[in-house]
């Protein structure tokens, strides 16, 4: 039985890098950059106005005051996409719209609400303006030649916007790792069937498909293999064509021997079996050429927890992702929290915010058979090895289970 840290180290050391592929801009969000991206242009490409107003020379209005306004002739207009082509002459102003090019010769913008119309073709200014006011400078956002996105970054929607702005119609991203999912067990029937005596419906495979997708992989469901060496061997061989193979079930003490034998015969080198965690201790990990093989415990809670703690970091590492672990937060326990023996424990928790503090309690029964605990939970509470009971009021570490944008409604929002 090895520690969670050691298990993770063994897994991460074995992860090969995913290949890269080119995708069109419209499909880039959610992918991982497989290249450093440098801008070939200054952004913005020209000095432009950040307000609707008048572009003018700062010097022309330096003497303006409430009792002695300066009158400037409006020589033309510069709206976004329609520049004023000429040079601005002393004593004149150009009407400029937000995003419009600042005409040559102008160095300042006065917002429309601070200029007083004086007939059709003139404005009165009643105060001086600081040079450069309301001008967005060429290259102020992105300087030509600057690296704007680094290899390994997740491409969020704003990243895709920046790619568009610098003229990239396609981008090189990491290929989604093909992740085969194989359920094993004589007891399993597909969800559409009514289970006979002693049978249950296969559920873990469906949860895994969603988790693989969320983590950046492409799930490939291989179906259910009966507990026969030949049946499992055939499916395992099929799964080894993928980047990752996830088996569920078949890793408990009784089942392990022949699943181990099957994996060995399929050319999988087992790197570890059993980790000092709960739930999920029978976790198995092996490698066959370039394929990572995980034997996940069959019950849904253990499957989900071991996926999140061990498979997801491997998937992200394979993608070349800079950040592979979710951040941890500190929360105050609202009730005493009991670890599972001396193992590192992942309790299903409900965290809420109270003022500036996160407070967490468990979902109730921490039996790994209670899959509904994963519906109630919005976080995992991680208790370290050693078996120390955490009394109510203790600070504990949590990881959110979902995007907190969905996780809970901690108050403090509008409407």
In the complex, minimum distance from the CB of residue 381 to a copy of itself, in angstroms, rounded to a whole number: 13
In the complex, minimum distance from the CB of residue 69 to a copy of itself, in angstroms, rounded to a whole number: 22
Count of other CB atoms within 10 angstroms of residue 80: 13
Tokens of 287: 């490698």
Q: Cα dist. 178→18, 203, 399 in Å?
A: 10, 20, 26
Residue 398 bridge partners (DSSP) = 329, 381
Closest to a copy of itself by CB, 214 or 269? 214
Closest to a copy of itself by CB, 267 or 326? 326
In the complex, minimum distance from the CB of residue 153 to a copy of itself, in angstroms, rounded to a whole number: 8
In the complex, minimum distance from the CB of residue 97 to a copy of itself, in angstroms, rounded to a whole number: 4
Q: Cα dist. 165→33, 38, 266 in Å?
A: 17, 12, 49
- What DSSP assignment string belongs to 40-64? SS-BSSS-EESSSEEEE-GGGGTT-
In the complex, minimum distance from the CB of residue 115 to a copy of itself, in angstroms, rounded to a whole number: 12
In the complex, minimum distance from the CB of residue 61 to a copy of itself, in angstroms, rounded to a whole number: 21
Angle at 110 between CA 107 and CA 116, to 5 degrees: 135
**What is the DSSP secondary structure assignment for residue 82, as one 8-state letter?**
B
Closest to a copy of itself by CB, 266 or 358? 358
Is there a contact between 86 and 103 (Cβ–Cβ < 8 Å)? yes
**What is the DSSP secondary structure assignment for residue 114, as one 8-state letter?**
G
In the complex, minimum distance from the CB of residue 67 to a copy of itself, in angstroms, rounded to a whole number: 27
Q: How far apart are CA 11 and CA 246, in angstroms?
A: 14
Closest to a copy of itself by CB, 65 or 190? 190
Closest to a copy of itself by CB, 267 or 352? 352
Count of other CB atoms within 10 angstroms of residue 341: 12
Q: At 373, which helix (H) or strand (E)?
A: helix 373-376
Q: How far apart are CA 330 and CA 380, in angstroms?
A: 12
Q: At 6, which helix (H) or strand (E)?
A: helix 4-13
Closest to a copy of itself by CB, 120 or 413? 413
Report which of 338, 335, 332 is spatially closest to residue 386, judged by C-alpha positions.
338
Closest to a copy of itself by CB, 214 or 261? 214
In the complex, minimum distance from the CB of residue 63 to a copy of itself, in angstroms, rounded to a whole number: 27
Count of other CB atoms within 10 angstroms of residue 223: 13
Sign for the CA dihedral angle at 49, 51, 55, 61 comes to negative
In the complex, minimum distance from the CB of residue 222 to a copy of itself, in angstroms, rounded to a whole number: 14
Residue owning tokens 């929360």: 331
Closest to a copy of itself by CB, 255 or 267? 255
Closest to a copy of itself by CB, 35 or 52? 52
Report which of 208, 214, 258 is spatially closest to residue 232, judged by C-alpha positions.
258
């Amino acid at each position: 039985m090895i520690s969670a840290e050691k298990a993770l180290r063994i897994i991460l050391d074995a992860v090969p890098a995913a290949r890269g592929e080119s995708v069109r801009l419209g499909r880039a969000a959610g992918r991982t950059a497989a290249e450093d991206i440098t801008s070939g242009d200054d952004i913005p490409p020209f000095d432009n106005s950040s307000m609707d107003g008048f572009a003018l020379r700062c010097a022309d209005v330096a003497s303006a005051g409430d009792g002695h306004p300066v009158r400037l002739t409006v020589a033309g207009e510069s709206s976004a996409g329609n520049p004023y082509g000429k040079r601005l002459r002393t004593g004149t102003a150009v009407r400029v719209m937000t995003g419009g090019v600042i005409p040559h010769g102008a160095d300042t913008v006065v917002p429309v609400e601070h200029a007083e119309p004086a007939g059709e073709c003139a404005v009165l200014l009643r105060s001086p303006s600081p040079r450069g006011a309301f001008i967005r400078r060429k290259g102020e956002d992105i300087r030509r030649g600057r690296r704007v996105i680094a290899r390994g970054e997740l491409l969020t929607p704003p990243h895709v916007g920046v790619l568009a702005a610098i003229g990239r119609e396609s981008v090189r991203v990491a290929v989604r790792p093909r992740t085969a999912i194989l359920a094993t067990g004589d007891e399993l029937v597909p969800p559409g069937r009514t289970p006979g005596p002693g049978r249950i419906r296969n559920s873990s495979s469906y949860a895994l498909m969603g988790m693989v997708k969320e983590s950046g992989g492409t799930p490939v469901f291989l179906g259910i293999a009966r507990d026969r060496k030949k049946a499992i061997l055939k499916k395992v061989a099929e799964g080894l064509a993928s980047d990752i193979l996830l088996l569920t079930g078949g890793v408990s003490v009784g089942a392990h021997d022949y699943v181990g034998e099957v994996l060995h015969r399929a050319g999988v080198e087992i790197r570890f079996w059993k980790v000092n965690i709960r739930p999920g201790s029978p976790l198995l990990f092996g490698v066959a050429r370039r394929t990572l093989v995980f034997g996940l415990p069959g019950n849904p809670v253990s499957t989900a927890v071991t996926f999140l703690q061990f498979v997801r970091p491997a998937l992200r590492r394979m993608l070349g992702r800079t950040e592979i672990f979710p951040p941890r937060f500190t929360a105050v326990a609202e009730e005493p929290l009991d670890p599972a023996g001396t193992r590192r424990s992942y309790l299903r928790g409900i965290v809420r915010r109270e003022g500036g503090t996160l407070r967490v309690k468990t979902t109730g029964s921490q039996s790994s058979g209670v899959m509904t605990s994963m519906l109630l939970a919005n976080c995992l509470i991680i208790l370290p090895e050693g078996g120390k009971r955490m009394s109510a009021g203790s600070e504990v570490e949590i990881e959110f289970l979902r995007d907190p944008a969905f996780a809970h409604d901690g108050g403090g929002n509008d409407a």
